[in-house]
Structure 1
Amino acid sequence: MRERKYRFFPLRPQHTPGGRRRRSNKLRSIQLIITVSFTAVTVLVAVIVSFMLYNKFARTAEENANINMQQIIEQVNYNLELYVTGMSRIFATAEGQITGSASIDSPLLSERMDTLMSSREDLVSVSVFTPEGDYVVGTPGLVLQQNTQLENQSWFTSASKSAEIAYSAPHVQNLFKGNYPWVVSISKMISYQEQGQTHQGILLLDFNFRTIDELSRQVKLGKRGYAYILDSLGNIVYHPQQQLIYAGLKYENVEPVLEYAYRSYIDTSTGDKRLITVRTLAETGWKIVGVAYYDEIVTTKRDLNQFLFWFLGVVISLVIAVSVLLSWLIASPIRRLERTVKQVGEGDLHTPIQVSGAYEVEQLSLRFNMMLQRIRQLMDQIIYEQETKRKGELEVLQSQINPHFLYNTLNSVIRLAERGKTDDVITMIQSLSKFFRISLSRGKNFITVQEELDHIRHYLVIQSFRFRGKFRFEIKAQEEVLQYQTIKLILQPIVENALYHGIEMSPDEGFISIAASLQSGSIVITVADNGLGMSPETLGSLLKGGVRTGGGSGVGVRNVNERIGLFYGREYGLSFASELEEGTTVTIVFPAVPAEIPAESGEEDTSS
């Protein structure tokens, strides 16, 4: 292929006042953009660094205070863990004595319960209740009150639902007369012996809350800081300002606390910035929450103020000077590149760009040359496709009057005339006349689907005289399809294949079915035969040019597929399905485009 030269003609810019255009060009100058951008970015970085330095001491103080606060809360957590573990051991001792006793009302068990009560000052009571809420046995000297509604109390319901030890929130004990201490209850479902039978009951131990209160009050987190305790449901077990909480004069945001077992975070829900530290007791699920006020953690941030003002002033001065120099060094080769590109725009595409300078400028020059090469390739591809399109059109024109087909048809007419079959001669001559009239179509490339179906119908009528008794055919089309546009002569090569490759060599009577329909905005035409079929190798080579029609136009199915792809896009064309000794089905798909001129004649359904 000979070398082609391409020439571009640049667009003329719109006329604008000279002064305004020069000012606009200066504002868009790459040197000015680099200077301003570099200065802005560097100053921004300096400000960010200064801000980081300014907050360095605050962060360090905050981290140290956070570590100190965590250590205090950890110590409180450890102390409470020890206390709760002791409570659990007392409960386990009581459970072992009751379950191991021969009878719940034995004097020996009562004596052991007295000993257990005397071993702990904070142990208020030990008692056993039935699952129905009836009192079985308890600490000597205590009389159960009436209407205690103990089955509604949390320690009773928790023990009834789970086989594990249940810890209640602090509450006033209202079970026994004359004694109403503030206690924490531990309960569990156990088994006991009474009159030789095993029963289920709920063991309850009440511990005075005073010890937990004293452990919590010892926590000091700054002047205003404090610690409080939540149960697993978010109820406040202990708070140094519990009266204010109950009165609604103080608020604690407990939702974030309940989400984690171990965390530290900043809270501003109360209006003050506070550092919150959370730890969880493994035994009870209680959460110990430490609260420290942020303004007490970081007491000063004034050490860096003077340094920052001096630092920023020096940095801005240096940055402006350096950015001017660097922008000039960068903009100079780009200006040379701009002049060279302008020359390419005024010349042909074979003018190379050779600009030296920074690595990026050289790469830009290289990429621009690659772009020019790609443009030339795309233009060559467009020219090739146009030539292929014209070649296909010429091949179609050549196939319109095929001497071999015309010779065979005229011989068939002569034989029919010699036999005196005047009606068959008239039918064949009429079909031949209409066949060539549609083939020529006044030089048009597009005809209606109705005309294309009429064309193939006349072709099959002519061939039916030559292959008399060898095949039958059927043409069906939806009424709405007939007035759409199609490329002409796309069915004849496919039907030729069906006749010469599928039916002619078959010992049985052949049948060709042609159907046209409208599906999802596309025209779908199927050509099916019951001929010999094709092997997978032959089927795979059809659209690669390996198989051509055997008797007629020479256009072939590949040319049909190429023409459809060139006119409508590569997503349209032919598809094949075939099995040996079963037959072949060819499907043609192209978009539904209304025809400009309606068809003059045609039939929707013709069989022979």
Structure 2
Amino acid sequence: MRFWRTLFQPLGRFHYKKIQVMITLSFMFITIITVLLVSVMLYNKFSKSSEENTFLNMGQIIDQVNLNLEFYVSGMKDIFEVVEESIGNSSQLTGNQLESRLNTILNTREDLVSIALFTKSGELVLNTPSIGMRPNSRLPRQGWFEAAQEHPGLLQFSAPHIQNVFKSPYRWVVSMSKEISYLDHRIKKKGILAVDINFRTIDELSKRVSLGKKGYVYIIDGLGNIVYHPQQQLIYAGLKYENLEPVLNYSFGSYMDDSTGEERIITIKTVQPTGWKVVGVTYADEIMTTKKDINAFMLWFLLVMLGIVLIVSVFVSYRIAKPLRNLERSVKKVEDGDFATIIDVSGAYEVEQLSKRFNLMIRRIRELMDQIILEQEAKRKGELEVLQAQINPHFLYNTLNSVTRMAEMGRKEEVVTTITSLSKFFRISLSKGNNIISVQDELEHVRNYLIIQKIRFKNKFQYEIEAQDEALNCMTLKLILQPLVENAIHHGIEMMVDEGFIGIYSWIEDECLFIRVTDNGVGMSEEVLRGVLTGRSRQESGSGVGVRNVHERISLYYGTPYGLTFESELEEGTTVTVRLPIISKPEIHGNGGQP
């Protein structure tokens, strides 16, 4: 902080701009160099990791294929041993017991095609299922038959081939064969046992493997014959080439191959005990695609970092001069009449002191302005209270006049009713000095007023007062309905020939309290209606207070959203709607008021 204070003390506006540019450019230069070095290091690291992960993933996938094949071959080997044991332990090859057992074994697996036992000369001893041999099968020349004779006692796995020994549909199979001993009429003999496996299972195990978008897996035997290849038909047709010579030199491991014109990664695993080799092929251009993705990512990373650096550098340089800019903007706001602005006290010592003095000055100006506003509001309230007080003497004079005339005419009941209603009227008007009363009391107040006026005007009008129960419990500013009803009588109904009607209704809607006063009097013209709340259309006769006083009192106490709205048509009548907030006890709202 001391460094910045020392730095800013001698600077003017022009020097500040130069420093801001120097700070921004220096910060950006250092950061760009750092980001470039980090990007190069990350790219090399990611590229190397990508290649290593590719080799590792391929090795893991090929290992899994190898394990699956070894597990499958081990299961077939176990089945072969069960068949061999069943034949070796049987004293009678043509018995139903051995045939039933072999059928059971054959039916336990869908991929078992046939079980057959031959003499060493190629004559059929037994087979399951029991199907005749083809006449030109040349059994002794079958590869699996020759392999079993050449390796006595060892289980042999053939390459995939078409089964053409029996008179059954031609099937693509792998044959397991082995020279075994068996009893024929209690005479021990040597023969060749063959179990054919449907190649579909091996094909399905290999097809499940995915090595990228173009990679694949194929299987060869120890002599280089293809056991499985996803494009085997193309290879047989000479339309595809696989370089098998290097593969035969590896039992396991990986190497790069470009014999097909494309650089490929070859991964090899050997399946035990068959000696087959699982070969995985992955194309190097897919690894390059990963590198391209890394390149694109690093480019975007660099651009984003540059954007962030630019924003941060501009922000830092901006923050250095922020106190002076704040002071300048605050002075401009005060010049424009905004006295609510406050400056954050920060920056150099001189700026801090200036900001403090500026804030003190603005605070003192606001206090003086608030004092003036309060004085004006108090004055306005006094004026309104004086206007409100004028209601009572004027009304009392008119009512007592009416009572005197009724007494002279001997109308005692009407005199009693008028005096009683007048008493209740003034009791609610006083309300123990409270300006906030319940809606129920306000409606009772205007009811007594209507009783007096109805007697005074000799039943010239009828009235109706209705309110929701919820509305009766709400609080309202007192003496807001009596001026509205008085206005309806004097300016609406009094000049009518027919009988008049005044309706007063109260309800709660949209979280507001509404009170509506409606009459069927002579109504008002549009011009009079527009000026009724502004005082420009003041009537020549009446209470002298009018609806404008009521509207201003409501707005003063509760705020501008509340007050009166008018609807009127000539010869149709007038409706005045009072909108108030919902309150359950006397509270001060809006600009304030005396509760």
- Structure 1 length as normaliser, TM-score? 0.45
* Structure of larger gyration radius: 2
Q: Identify which of structures 1 and 2 has the higher relative contact order when contacts are C-alpha pairs closer than 8 Å and 6+ apart.
A: 1
